[in-house]
Chain A
């Protein structure tokens, strides 16, 4: 069986790649994709701990399911906001969304 350290390192790698994308990219859609990658790293951690530490109650699996569902809701809402931004500013660049009014 794979040592737990390796699985956790993989999920940490996914999380940090997503973090880089969120911080370095300008396009709102790309930022959103980085966020999805981060959420996947987190969900992988939950699954790992559920499988390795808690196979009787599998709480981590349930929690990962909720993480996935809430992430789906968040994507839908975020895309609506990006569409709105694009309609107002003709851009999907997060650096140009710098006022709190229109």
Chain B
């Protein structure tokens, strides 16, 4: 099934608007909400590209866990609305660098020929196939990434722990 192009463009516009909102807003909490919008729109793009499983993981991990963690960090660090301090002095340079990066990327994308990428229907990969691949072909990277998660978890606890005499 190929989703209609207007749907794809609409979701992509939502995602880019979310990113733009994050880049422009003065309010940190609004920024977090814009980020959630962008992340969910990216999940929608995955769905439109028939990558169901990744879309589901994106909603669970990014839409759920990461956004909650970020809001928690805002609460714990008592981010105040200080418009004059949210941007630093590098803003013009940052604008220049990111616009230049986008121009370079867009030029590279549009001047390259992409053989074998036109007029093909979307190959739908169901959960069975992707989980079979994860647990057979990619079993070792899968185990290693679970170790990485465990190490990050323990590291986060150790770093954030409140020491008694502090």
From A66, A86, A93, give the contact of B85 (CB < 8 A): A93
How many residues of chain B are within 8 Å of chain A by beta carbon? 86
Is there an interface contact between B79 and A27, defined as CB atoms closer than 8 Å? yes
- Please report the C-alpha to C-alpha distance between residue A58 and residue B127 in the assembled complex, in whole angstroms: 12
Secondary structure dominating the interface of A: helix
- Enumerate A44-63 residues with CB–CB distance to B below 8 Å: 44, 47-48, 50-53, 55-56, 58, 61-62
Residues of chain A within 8 A of B77, CB atoms compared: 28-29, 82-83, 86, 92
Which residue of A3, A43, A47, A86 has the most chain B CB atoms within 10 A of its CB atom?
Answer: A47
Determine the distance from Cα of A66 to Cα of B35 in the docked complex, in whole angstroms. Answer: 21
CB of A37 within 8 A of CB of B19, answer yes
User: Chain A: which residue is nearest B102 at the CB level?
Assistant: A16
Q: Does A58 contact B120, Cβ atoms closer than 8 Å?
A: no
Q: Mostly helix, strand, loop or mixed at chain B's interface?
A: helix
Q: Which one of B15, B79, B162 has the highest number of Cβ atoms from chain A below 10 Å of its Cβ?
A: B15
Size range of the interface on A?
35 or more
Q: Cβ of B61 and Cβ of A26 under 8 Å apart?
A: no
Residue A2 CB within 8 A of the other chain: yes
Q: Report chain B residues within 8 Å CB of A17.
A: 16, 19-20, 22-23, 98
**Cα–Cα, bound, A49→B25 (Å):** 32
Contact surface of A with B, Cβ cutoff 8 Å:
1-10, 12-21, 23-30, 32-34, 36-37, 40, 43-44, 47-48, 50-53, 55-56, 58, 61-62, 64-66, 68-77, 79-84, 86-87, 92-93, 95
7 contacting pairs across A/B (C-beta < 8 A): A16-B102, A20-B23, A32-B70, A69-B148, A76-B69, A79-B73, A92-B77
